Structure 1
Amino acid sequence: MEPNAVFDAFKVALICILWYICSASGNIIGKLVLNEFPYPMTVTMIQLLSASVYLGPILRVMNVPHTGSVPKRYYMTMIIPLAFGKFIASVSAHISMWKVSVSYAHTVKATLPLFTVILSRILLGEKQTYPVYFSLLPIIGGVLIATLTEVSFDIVGLGSALIATVGFSVQTIFSKKCLKETGLHHLRLLVLLSRLATLCFLPMWFLFDFRKILHQERMVEENKMFAPVFLLLLDGFFNMLHNIFAFTVIAMVAPLSYAVCNATKRIVIIGASLVFLRNPVTAANIIGMIIAVFGVLLYNKVKYKFVMF
C-alpha cells in the first residue's frame, strides 16, 4: 500500500473513532439529562442552537466553500419542510431515549434501511432488487426479537423511535435531492436547516417546555439546575461534533464504506450504553440487537452490490 493510501486510511479510522466517541457520549449524556430533566423538546432545541452557533465559525476555520444557491421558492418547497422534519425527528428520537433504554432505541433505529427502501419506492419510484428486499428480513426479525424481550419496553418509546426513524429516512432522501439540485455544501445545508428549525420552533418551545421549566420551583430552590444545564450544553456540543465527523466521513469514503461505518457506530453506541448506563437486558434481547445490526451490514453489502442504475 502506498504511503498516501496508508495516511488516508489512518485519517479515516481516526475520524471514525472520534465520531463514535462523540456519538456514544452524546447519547449517554442525553439519557442522563432526560432521566433528571424530562424535556425532550428542550434537548432538541439545545442541539439545534449549538449547531447554529458553533458551526458558523467552525466552517470558516475549515474554509468550507459557499457553493450553490437556494432559490426563494425552494425554501417553501424543500428547505423549510426539511427543517420541520429535522425538528420532529430529533424530538421523537429524544422522547424514545427518555422512555426506553438507549440500546433498544438504537436497535429500533436499525430499521432505517427498511423505511428508506419503502419511502424511496413510494416518493421517488425507485426499485430495488430481490436480494435487497430479502436482506431486510434479518433487520425486521432482530428488531422484533429485541422488542418482545425488551425489559424496559414502552409503547410511547417504541412509537417515538419509529417516528424518528421514518423522519430521518425522509430527511436522508430529500437532503440528497436538495444537495444535488442546489449544489450546496452538505455542512452549509446542515447549518441552514439547524438555524431555520431553531427559529421556527422557538415559539413552540417557549409555549410548552419553557413554561413548565419555570414552574420547576423545587429544582430552582434546591439549586439542582446546574447539573442538567451543564449536561445539556455538553450534549449539544457532542451532537455538533458528531454531525461534523459524520459529514466528513461521508465526504472521504464511498457510500458502502460510510454505511458500514454508520452500522459500526450503532454497535458502539449500544455497547457503550450497556456498559455505562447498565440498563437491564436479557440474552434474547442482546441476540435480537446483534441480528438487527448484522441485518444492517448485510443490507449495505447487498444494496451496493446489486443496486439498479
Structure 2
Amino acid sequence: MENPIRWTTVWVVASWYGSNIGILLLNKYLLTGFGFKYPVFLTLCHMVACASLSYVAIGLARVVPLQAIKSRSQLGRLAALSVVFCYSVVCGNVSLRYIPVSFNQAIGATTPFFTAVFAYLMIQKREAWATYAALVPVVVGVVIASGAEPSFHLLGFIMCVVATAARAFKSVLQSILLSSDQGENLNSMNLLLYMAPIAVAFLVPATMLMEKDALEFTIDIAKKDLKIVWYLLFNSSLAYFVNLTNFLVTQHTSALTLQVLGNAKGAVAVVVSILIFKNPISFIGMLGYAITIFGVVLYGEVKKRYS
C-alpha cells in the first residue's frame, strides 16, 4: 500500500515543479522573446483561467468541498486580498520584461525578509533575535547579486522587489483577515475560486486604461500566427495549476518538506532559465544568489527551532 502513496507524492511534486517553473519561463518568453508586451493583460488571462478552472474543479468535479462566503465582511476581505494578489502578479510580470529569470528568482527569495517586516509592522509579531539575524544573508546575497548582475535594469529590479513585498504582504494580510474565530476560514482552492473573479473585475478596467491596444494586438498576431492563442491558453492554464499543485503538495507532504522543496525549486528555475535563455551570468552574481538561498534555509531552520 506504500508504493501508490509514494508515487502519487512524486507525481504531485513533479507537477508542482513543472507548473511553477513552466509558467515563469513561458511568461518570460511571451513578454520578451515573443514580443507580447502586455503584462497586465497577461495577468487578466491568468485570472480568467483561474476563475473558470476553479469553477470546474470545485463546482463540477468536486475536487474539494465548496465553502460558502458567510458574510459581507468576509467578501470585503477577499476583495482586499484580490487587489494585493493582482498587484503582486502584475508587478512580477512587468519585472520579467526587463530582468532575467535567474535575477528575478534571486530577488523573490527575499520573501521571508518582507514577511517578517510586515508581520512586525502589522501585528507586532516579534521573532527571536536569531531569526532576524538569519535574514541578514538573505538581503546581503541579493545586494551582491544585484551589483554583479550583467543584465541589471532599474525598473525591472524595482518591480520585482515590489512584487516580492506584495506577496509577503498578502500572506500576512491573509493570516489576519481569514484566520477568524467565526468559521470563515477558506482552503486555498476555495480562496482562489472567490478571489479570481474579483481580480478579473479589477483587471478589466486596468487593462483598458493601461494597455488598451492589448486585445487588438493579440487578434492581429493571431490572424498571422495562431501560436499566440495556444501560448496564452497554455500559459493561463498553468497559472491555475500552480495553485492546484501547491494545494496538493501541501496535502501530500509536511510543512518542512514543502519549505525544502520550495527553496530547491528556485535554484532549479535559475539553472533551467540560464540554459534556455542563455542570459549572461557572473560568478559573483551566482555567489550572491547562493548566499540568499543559504539565508532562506537558515531562516527556516532557526524559525522552526524558536517557534
Q: What is the TM-score normalised by the length of structure 1? A: 0.91
Q: Is 1:14 the equivalent of 2:11?
A: yes
* Separation of aligned partners in 2, 1:208 and 1:230: 24
Q: Tell me the secondary structure at the aligned position of residue 210 of structure 1.
A: coil
* Separation of aligned partners in 1, 2:256 and 2:45: 32
1:23-42 superposed matches below 5 A: 23-35=20-32, 36-42=35-41
The runs of 5 or more residues in structure 2 that have no matched partner are: none
Q: Tell me the secondary structure at the aligned position of residue 238 of structure 2.
A: helix
Given the superposition, is the C-alpha separation of residues 62 and 280 from structure 1 closer, same or farther in structure 2, using an over 3 Å criterion?
farther
1:250 paired residue number = 250
1:189 paired residue number = 191
Given the superposition, is the C-alpha separation of residues 89 and 225 from structure 1 closer, same or farther in structure 2, using an over 3 Å criterion?
farther
Could you list the per-position Cα deviations for residues 150-207 of structure 1 after superposition, in whole angstroms to 9, with x for gaps in the alignment? Answer: 1111111111011101111111122233443212222010121111100222122123
2:138 paired residue number = 139
Q: Is 1:127 the equivalent of 2:126?
A: yes
Asked if the contact 1:65–1:185 (Cα under 8 Å) also holds between the matched residues in 2, the reply is no
Amino acid at match of 1:11: T
Could you list the per-position Cα deviations for residues 81-129 of structure 1 after superposition, in whole angstroms to 9, with x for gaps in the alignment? Answer: 1110011110000011111001101110111000000000110111101
Given the superposition, is the C-alpha separation of residues 70 and 210 from structure 1 closer, same or farther in structure 2, using an over 3 Å criterion?
farther
Asked if the contact 1:145–1:288 (Cα under 8 Å) also holds between the matched residues in 2, the reply is yes
1:174 paired residue number = 173
1:1-309 superposed matches below 5 A: 4=2, 7-35=4-32, 36-59=35-58, 60-67=60-67, 69-76=69-76, 78-181=77-180, 182-214=184-216, 216=217, 220=220, 223-224=223-224, 226-307=226-307
* Separation of aligned partners in 1, 2:118 and 2:253: 25
Q: Tell me how large the CA RMSD over aligned residues is.
A: 2.1
Q: Tell me the secondary structure at the aligned position of residue 301 of structure 1.
A: helix
The runs of 5 or more residues in structure 1 that have no matched partner are: none
* Separation of aligned partners in 2, 1:213 and 1:64: 34
Could you list the per-position Cα deviations for residues 25-50 of structure 1 after superposition, in whole angstroms to 9, with x for gaps in the alignment? Answer: 11111111001111110111111111
* Separation of aligned partners in 1, 2:199 and 2:221: 32
Given the superposition, is the C-alpha separation of residues 141 and 8 from structure 1 closer, same or farther in structure 2, using an over 3 Å criterion?
farther
| Matched-pair identity in % | 21
Q: What is the TM-score normalised by the length of structure 2? A: 0.91
| Alpha-carbon offset, residue 293 of structure 1 | 1.5
